[in-house]
Chain A
Amino acid sequence: MIKVVNLKKSYGRLEALKSISFEVEKGSVFGFIGRNGAGKTTTMNILTGLIKFNGGKIFIKGKDFLKNKQELVRSIGYLPETPTFYNYMNTYEYLNFIARIIGCNLKKTRKSVGKLLEMVKLTKQGKRRIGGYSRGMKQRLALAVAFMNSPEILFLDEPASALDPEGRVEMLELIEGLKDDKITIFLSTHILNDAERVCDKICIIDEGKILLTKNLSQLYETYIQPIFDVEFEEDPEDEVNLLKKFSWIESIKENGRRISIYVKDIDYAKKEILKELSKLDNNITSYRTRKSTLEDIFIRMVSKNEII
């Protein structure tokens, strides 16, 4: 559905995207994750035709994006991270304005506007001016705009960032529901739990480079290394320094008296870790092994990139 080949974008001397390539299959949810400033929004702005790019090729529905931009963007819906509207308009007026741009007929628009407002729970506020909306309400309205005319591809940039916990759950349920409607979703987020819940494929971007693109199931297979969480009675600074010297330990993440040990050789670690911990002076209050989450994989990938 979307194919990006060697995409480059620079802002003056700063290279925001360093020749990135990836593919998004039709009807899938593609999770685009990365830290702030990694290049997520820049990629989305390029793919929605809002900003130009310096090199590479984009194909959407098999067509060259540059040559067929006007036609292709009509099948795309975009929810930006910070949506802006004409604040003097009310919701009905704004949605009608967008419907006119898309070219929906009046009868169809009236019906779909009502449905969309119901979906994003803004029916009651429909006649209030947008200028008086909260950030969360604006986010909901932006979602309604992105959904107008049932787009085939949806670009969602941090869709849950301004929503309350209830709104966030609803948003995730909505995305899960869209999967069934075979809508292709390009989801940018740094809430990794959300990505883990709804995405089929994960792409990690850092400093304008793609570090990894894999199906979620493949990702777990490749990186499914248990993590050893250990909690000490006292601050384990010396113990951490000691453990870091072992070659079978990859890294240690510290969080107060609790540490998470990432290992290179799982079989060896299982035998050795308890032996080594028992030799330490600091008493252990808890010890458990857990499976890697997307957050663990993300941290591991990004830290490797920092070393490179």
Chain B
Amino acid sequence: MRSSWSVLALVLVAGAVVIPSLFRQPASLTVYCAHDAIFADDIIRLFEKRSGIAVEVRYDEEANKSLGLTNLLIAEKDRPRCDVFWNNQTLGTIRLMDHGVLAPFKGTGYERIPSPFKDVGGHWTGFAARMRVFIVNSEQLTATEEEVAELLASESLNTVAIAIPLYGTTLTHYSVLAAEMGLEELKKWHHSLQARGIREARGNGSVKDLVAEGACALGFTDTDDVFVAMDQGKPVKMLPIRTTAGKTIVIPNSVAMIRGCQHPDAAQKFIDFLLSAEVELLLAQSASRQIPLGDVDRSRLPDSVQELMNWAGQGVEMEAAAQLNDSVLEWLSGEYVQQ
């Protein structure tokens, strides 16, 4: 290898990296977004168009679960490069608040969201929710609460799937159960599922695949995953997962401003935009069918979301679950990653 060739090649590849960025508008706002890129991107571009503020987005990737945007924000706490965090759940955001990563902000958007879905101090605000649901293969099981309960009480659960609860909404689900039944009862329930041979997948998407492909009859997953399968024409239906007290598990998106961020004005405009009725409607009308939490024009909601709204009205409070999140994760780490 000749040095001159290497230098020339390095210059060429550096050009390939740098040139595309020259054609971009300099960013006036940096957003970390854990919501699905294909749904969030349209909304962020709409904000750019309306406000004239250029936004750079960093999406969360499944590949990066081990670090995740929440952990990245904690790592960057002293020198943040992010202005706004759009999370696709709330427990992680509450954890950031506990680490002092978030700054309070109560704008017009904050006011229209009901109090169970926001922090009293304004550190974070929830909007557009998903729900934990059972995905049922309708060719193998009738989608009724009785049939599901019967299957879950049976001796063998080898046709039932759940994601490993170390991350994502399954961890939130476990934290909610821990808050309601206590950690010891949760452990018994978890061990009972395992002893009866429940299938453990690596994520909710994988649970959806197992049920949609007919390898399992029932799975624990989220509404957006079920809608993906439904839109692909798979024989699946959904039922809400209820806690022993009969509550549903509603998992809102949440948005928060980062403490010490470089563009606070633009950040506040973006947060108010996200928390508007217009964005909640857009998310409800998207393929992921998110459930609006504030007041919206109900006549413009798809039928599937109308039904979800009824279930979401029976949602469990998340405060206690947030407090138990760390203890649940500590116990689960011992279960899944022993040395």
A and B from one complex: no
Interface residues of A (CB under 8 A from B): none
Interface residues of B (CB under 8 A from A): none
